[in-house]
């Protein structure tokens, strides 16, 4: 027997009340934790995916769409840009450190197929789990998630389909991809991509000359650096979807977007700016829900206060008895405070579990259909503060009832 077990006995005795308090607190804390974990993981993931990419060049349209499409691969392209235009930008040695071309449009089982060069996986420090990087036309190196979910292994072949929804209706039956490598998990968007050469994408869409297609170098530092004289004439008709740029010079941040946007058929979008804009957009909704959650927590605190305050009248005799048994006034004070803290802690723990459970559930529901995934059991330091705040609510809620114990006249109480 100690003050903990004593307080716990009273909490246990008020089952319905305790249930209500716990439910309210758990709900409030759960929502706050859920929003916190989701936005933090989303932001971290987005930042990891956008890392060091200063600018995305693509066809005119919504800049947010261009970013969502080219960096996170969760939207459709705004259109295509001419390879010659892209090459012009990529060869701007003064500003451009690295230029990664992307050719999008096809997918396999809802996993996007990206025509690109070796710089792309290198940018995310991807490594091979087995096999090799793609080299020839219609070779593909696949991400770890793609391999896990589709069951593709090195040596397997597959057909791509048009679009991003993975439907079988728009299958490109004429051309067959061959898996030559599987990447190690990198916790980036790479895990969910099928990488191939740009020539493969071209080959599928202009299949009549695919086999004869020469390898075209794009950007200043691709691996295929040999020049092919006979290709210059063809370059004008060739198109890619977007170009990811890293700058070599801070001046570029000012100069490049203006330079690119002045060309009528191109637009430049900054991932950093668009991510901020995106979070501003759905941040408003999240804020409203979060304030709502704080109101619930406040009501939970009020509910704890009312429970303790009301119980105090019934417990006056119990408390007087404890005094006759030798309990000091401070001990009774601590006893009531402890009850508030225990209730708050119990509700808080349930809330943490609820929030993380909801994240895990969200992740399980999203996993099959989306590029986004969450980790439910990853805890953040902010949650300590939330928990401390909840204990604070319990403390404040029990303070007044606890102070009331000092005013109990034992002799009067026992005499009635």
Binding site residues, another protein, CB under 8 A: 1-2, 5-6, 9-10, 12-13, 317-318, 321-331, 410-411, 414-415
SS3 category, 356: helix
Nearer to another protein, 155 or 326 (CB): 326
Nearer to another protein, 15 or 208 (CB): 15
What is the smallest separation between the CB atom of 110 and another protein, expressed in angstroms?
58
Euclidean distance between CA atoms 254 and 165, whole angstroms: 37
What is the smallest separation between the CB atom of 410 and another protein, expressed in angstroms?
5
Nearer to another protein, 5 or 233 (CB): 5
DSSP string, 309-359: HHHHHHHHHHHHHHHHTT--HHHHHHHHHHHHHHHHHHHHHHHHHHHHHHH
Nearer to another protein, 127 or 328 (CB): 328
What is the smallest separation between the CB atom of 382 and another protein, expressed in angstroms?
37
SS3 category, 226: coil
Euclidean distance between CA atoms 140 and 120, whole angstroms: 13
What is the smallest separation between the CB atom of 411 and another protein, expressed in angstroms?
4
Euclidean distance between CA atoms 325 and 270, whole angstroms: 72
Q: Where are the beta strands (DSSP E) in 118-241?
A: 128-131, 139-142, 157-158, 161-162, 177-183, 193-197, 239-240
Name the nearest CA neighbour of 244 among 142, 136, 121, 146: 121
Nearer to another protein, 222 or 316 (CB): 316
Nearer to another protein, 6 or 391 (CB): 6
Which DSSP helix (H) or strand (E) runs through 382?
A: helix 382-404
Nearer to another protein, 400 or 414 (CB): 414
What is the smallest separation between the CB atom of 393 and another protein, expressed in angstroms?
24
Residue 150 CB burial class (10 angstroms; 0-12, 13-18, ≥19): middle
What is the smallest separation between the CB atom of 344 and another protein, expressed in angstroms?
20
What is the smallest separation between the CB atom of 14 and another protein, expressed in angstroms?
9
How many residues appear in the chain? 416
């Amino acid at each position: 027997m100690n003050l903990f077990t004593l307080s716990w006995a009273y909490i246990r005795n008020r089952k319905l009340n305790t249930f209500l308090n716990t439910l309210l607190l758990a709900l409030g804390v759960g929502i706050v934790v859920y929003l916190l974990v989701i936005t933090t993981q989303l932001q971290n993931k987005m930042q990891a995916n956008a890392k060091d990419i200063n600018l995305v060049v693509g066809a005119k349209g919504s800049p947010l769409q261009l970013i969502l499409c080219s960096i996170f691969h969760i939207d459709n392209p705004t259109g295509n840009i001419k390879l010659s235009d892209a090459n012009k930008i990529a060869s701007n040695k003064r500003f451009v450190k690295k230029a990664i071309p992307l050719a999008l449009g096809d997918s396999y089982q809802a996993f996007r197929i990206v025509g690109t060069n070796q710089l792309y996986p290198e940018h995310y420090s991807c490594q091979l789990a087995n096999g090799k990087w793609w080299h020839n036309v219609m070779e593909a190196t696949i991400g770890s998630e793609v391999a896990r979910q589709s069951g593709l292994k090195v040596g397997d072949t597959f057909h791509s389909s048009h679009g991003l929804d993975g439907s079988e209706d728009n299958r490109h039956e004429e051309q067959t991809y061959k898996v030559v490598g599987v990447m190690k998990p990198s916790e980036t968007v790479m895990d969910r991509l099928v990488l191939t050469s740009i020539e493969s994408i071209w080959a599928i869409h202009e299949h009549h000359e695919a086999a004869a297609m020469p390898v075209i170098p794009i950007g200043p530092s691709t691996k295929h650096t040999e020049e092919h004289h006979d290709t210059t004439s063809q370059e004008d008709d060739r198109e890619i979807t977007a170009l990811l740029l890293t700058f070599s010079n801070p001046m570029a941040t000012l100069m490049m977007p203006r330079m690119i946007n002045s060309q009528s058929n191109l637009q430049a979008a900054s991932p950093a700016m668009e991510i901020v804009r995106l979070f501003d957009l759905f941040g408003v909704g999240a804020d409203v829900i979060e304030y709502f959650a704080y109101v619930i927590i406040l009501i939970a605190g009020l509910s704890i206060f009312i429970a303790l305050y009301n119980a105090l009248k019934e417990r006056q005799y119990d408390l007087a008895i404890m005094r006759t048994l030798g309990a000091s006034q401070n001990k009774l004070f601590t006893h009531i405070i402890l009850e508030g803290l225990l209730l708050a802690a119990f509700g808080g723990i349930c809330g943490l579990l609820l929030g993380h459970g909801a994240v895990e559930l969200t992740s399980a529901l999203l996993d099959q259909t989306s590029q986004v995934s969450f980790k439910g059991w990853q805890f953040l330091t902010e949650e300590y503060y939330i928990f401390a705040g909840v204990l604070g609510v319990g403390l404040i809620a029990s303070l007044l009832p606890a102070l009331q114990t000092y005013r109990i006249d034992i002799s009067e109480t026992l005499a009635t």
